[in-house]
Amino acid sequence: MTDQLTIYEEVTKITEDYFGPVAPRLINRIVTSHLHKKPNQVTRKDLSELVDWIILATAVVTEDTEVINEFTLRLSTLLPMNYRSTSISNQLNR
């Protein structure tokens, strides 16, 4: 039987590719400060807002739009289809 990752773990796993070992701390900070939840309380309904905050944090530390777009694309695969077009990344590219 395969253990399924939590939403927090899925997001953190992708984020680690861009932020390395600080990814869990970053995601935890965003979840607690902006979503006002504990990491184990994050649900799929929270993903759109969580992704928006992660992309904003990424845009603060890099101006590399390729990296931001790639990261956004990877995170958006976790979102339900009807939320994918409303992500903040669309606004960042204007």
Q: Domain spans of the chain?
A: 7-92
Report, in this order, helix, strand and coil percent for the chain, each rounded to 5. Answer: 75, 0, 25
CA distance 77 to 94: 22
11: which 2 tokens?
A: 């997001």
Q: What is the pLDDT of residues 8-54, one digit of tens each?
A: 999 999 999 999 999 999 999 999 999 999 999 999 899 999 999 99
Radius of gyration of the chain measured on its C-alpha atoms? 13
Q: The pTM is what?
A: 0.80
Closest by Cα among 70, 82, 75, 74 to 93 = 70
